[in-house]
C-alpha cells in the first residue's frame, strides 16, 4: 500500500486502537483516522465488570497513552458516530461533517449487549454493561444491602454477581442452564463456579427462566419460572450481538458477524474487519469462528492493521480469555464447542487445577484455575494436534511441557 493512501478505522476501542498500532508497525506512513463514538480515549473493558465496578480503582486501562496518537500520527476522533459507508465512493459518512475518504477501511465496531425481550424490559432499573458509563452507573447503585438480580450466568453476569457481592449487595442470579457458564465449560466445571458463588452468598437459581420485570416505572420484582424475586436493580447479561449495521449498509454479507479471511479482509475490496464483529476463517480450526474476548481484539486488531498496511498476514492465534471472580482467577486457551471428555489435573475442590476438554484424545481447550504461567504450554499441546496420554495429562507430577513433545 502506498504511503499516500489513507486508512480509516471505525470503532476506537481495543481492536481499532491496536489496528492503528499494527499499521505503523508494518511501516505504513500514510494518514490514519481512528473514529469512535465513545468520549474516552480507547480503553480496555475487562476492569468494568471487576475492580472498576467494585470501586477499587477509578482509572481506566487505556489501550495506549494519549501521547501515542500524536506520536504515531493517528488522528483520533472521539464522540463521533459513523452513520454510513459508501463503498463505491470509498467514503465513510459522519453526520454534520464531510464524508471521510479511505483507501483501506477497518470495521472495528465490536458488539453490544443482547437486549432482553420480556414484559417490563424498559423499566428503570434494568441495566446492561458494556461501557465505562454503564459500569460507573452500576457501581454507584451497588451498595450495602442493595437487592441485585443478575439475569444470565455467562462471563459478564458471573463477574457482575461477584462484584456486587464484593460491594455488599444481596445478589440473585437467574440462569436457564443448571450451572453458570454451562455452554462453554460443561456441567462439571460450571458447577465449580456455581459453588464459588454459593459460598459467597449468591442465591443462584439455575434451571430458571425470567418471565417479566414488574414495577411501577421502576423495576421492583423479577418474575421467574421459580417465583418472584424482589429487586432494586437488574443487570441483564445474556450475551452480545456484533454491531453489523455499517457492514450491512456497505452491502457486506453477514454470517454471525462480518465474514473475513485469514488476513482479516472482507469480501469488499479495501474493507477489513476485526475484533468482536469479525467472523474469521481460522487457519488452525479450518472453520469460521467469531471470538468475543480481549486477547482476540488485541492481537487480531494489530494483525488487521498490519494486513491493511500490506503485510502478509495469516491470523491463527488460538482464542484466549481470562476471568476473575472473588479469589478465583482463570485463563482459558483454545476453542471447544463439543468434547467427549474433560480431564482434570490438580485439586478441583481447592480451586487449583487445570481442566482440559478433549475430543478423540486430542486437547481442544484448557483452563487453568489459580495456577499460572501454563497457558502457552496448553496452547502448544492444542496446536500439536497429537493425542495425549490421559493419565499423564491428569497427573500434576508429569511436566505438562513433556506432553507437547
Ligand X SMILES: Cc1cc2nc3c(=O)[nH]c(=O)nc-3n(C[C@H](O)[C@H](O)[C@H](O)COP(=O)(O)OP(=O)(O)OC[C@H]3O[C@@H](n4cnc5c(N)ncnc54)[C@H](O)[C@@H]3O)c2cc1C
- Give the residues lining the site for ligand X (CB under 6 A): 10-16, 35-38, 45-46, 48-49, 81-82, 108-111, 129-130, 156, 243, 246, 275-276, 292-295, 297, 321-323
Rounded to 5°, the CA angle 208-209-211 comes to 140
Phi first, then psi: give them for residue 326, nearest 5 degrees.
55, -125
CB of 200 to ligand X, least distance (A): 18
Q: Closer CB to ligand X, residue 264 or residue 297?
A: 297
CA distance 268 to 256: 17
Please list, in sequence order, all residues whose beta carbon lies within 8 angstroms of the beta carbon of residue 205, skipping any fewer than 6 positions away.
172, 173, 174, 175, 224, 226, 229
Of all residues in the chain, what percent are helix, strand and coil, respectively (each to 5)? Answer: 25, 30, 45
Task: Supply the minimum distance, in Å, between the C-beta of residue 90 and ligand X.
Answer: 17
Q: How far apart are CA 403 and CA 37, in angstroms?
A: 47
The most distant pair of C-alpha atoms in the chain lies apart, rounded to whole Å, by 65
Task: Give least dist CB 187 to ligand X, A.
Answer: 22
**Host H or E run for residue 160:** helix 155-166
Name the residue nearer to ligand X (CB basis): 35 or 173.
Answer: 35
What's the closest the beta carbon of residue 3 comes to ligand X, in angstroms? 26
Nearest Cα neighbor of 49 from 332, 320, 324, 243 is 324
| Nearer of residues 111 and 355 to ligand X, judged by Cβ | 111
Q: Which of 84, 209 has the CB closer to ligand X?
A: 84
For residue 82, the minimal CB distance to ligand X (Å) is 4
Between residues 194 and 243, which has the closer beta carbon with respect to ligand X? Answer: 243
Find the shortest distance in angstroms from Cβ 119 to ligand X: 26
Is residue 294 within 8 Å of 283, Cβ to Cβ?
no
Amino acid at each position: 500500500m502506498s504511503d499516500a493512501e489513507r486508512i480509516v478505522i471505525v470503532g476506537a476501542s481495543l481492536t481499532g486502537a491496536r489496528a492503528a498500532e499494527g499499521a505503523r508497525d508494518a511501516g505504513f506512513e500514510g494518514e490514519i483516522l481512528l473514529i469512535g463514538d465513545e468520549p474516552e480515549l480507547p480503553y480496555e473493558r475487562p476492569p468494568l465488570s471487576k475492580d472498576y465496578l467494585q470501586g477499587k480503582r477509578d482509572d481506566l486501562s487505556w489501550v495506549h497513552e494519549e501521547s501515542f496518537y500524536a506520536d504515531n500520527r493517528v488522528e483520533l476522533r472521539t464522540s463521533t458516530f459513523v452513520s454510513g459507508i459508501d463503498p463505491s465512493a470509498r467514503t465513510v459518512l459522519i453526520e454534520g461533517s464531510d464524508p471521510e475518504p479511505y483507501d483501506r477501511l477497518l470495521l472495528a465496531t465490536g458488539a453490544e449487549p443482547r437486549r432482553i425481550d420480556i414484559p417490563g424490559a424498559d423499566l428503570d432499573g434494568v441495566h446492561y454493561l458494556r461501557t465505562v458509563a454503564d459500569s460507573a452507573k452500576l457501581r454507584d447503585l451497588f451498595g450495602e444491602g442493595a437487592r441485585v438480580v443478575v439475569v444470565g450466568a455467562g462471563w459478564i453476569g458471573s463477574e457482575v454477581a461477584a462484584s456486587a457481592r464484593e460491594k455488599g449487595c444481596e445478589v440473585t442470579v437467574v440462569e436457564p442452564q443448571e450451572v453458570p457458564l454451562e455452554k462453554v465449560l460443561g456441567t462439571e466445571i460450571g458447577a465449580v463456579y456455581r459453588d464459588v458463588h454459593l459460598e459467597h452468598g449468591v442465591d443462584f437459581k439455575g434451571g430458571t427462566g425470567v418471565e417479566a420485570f414488574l414495577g411501577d416505572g421502576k423495576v421492583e420484582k423479577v418474575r421467574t419460572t421459580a417465583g418472584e424475586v424482589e429487586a432494586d436493580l437488574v443487570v441483564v447479561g445474556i450475551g452480545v450481538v456484533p454491531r453489523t449495521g455499517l457492514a450491512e449498509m456497505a452491502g457486506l454479507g453477514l454470517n454471525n458477524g462480518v465474514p473475513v479471511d485469514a488476513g482479516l479482509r472482507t469480501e469488499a475490496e479495501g474493507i477489513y474487519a476485526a475484533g468482536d464483529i469479525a467472523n474469521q476463517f481460522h487457519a488452525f480450526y479450518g472453520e469460521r469462528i467469531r471470538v468475543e474476548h480481549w486477547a482476540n481484539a488485541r492481537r487480531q486488531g494489530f494483525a488487521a492493521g498490519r494486513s491493511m498496511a500490506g503485510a502478509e498476514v495469516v491470523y491463527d492465534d488460538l482464542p484466549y480469555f481470562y476471568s476473575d471472580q472473588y479469589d478465583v482467577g482463570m485463563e482459558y486457551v483454545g476453542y471447544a464447542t463439543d468434547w467427549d471428555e474433560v480431564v482434570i489435573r490438580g485439586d478441583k475442590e481447592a480451586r487449583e487445577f487445570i481442566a482440559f476438554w478433549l475430543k478423540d484424545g486430542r486437547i481442544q481447550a484448557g483452563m487453568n484455575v489459580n495456577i499460572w504461567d501454563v497457558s502457552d504450554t496448553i496452547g502448544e499441546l492444542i496446536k500439536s494436534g497429537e493425542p495425549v496420554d490421559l493419565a499423564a495429562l491428569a497427573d500434576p507430577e508429569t511436566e505438562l511441557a513433556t506432553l507437547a513433545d
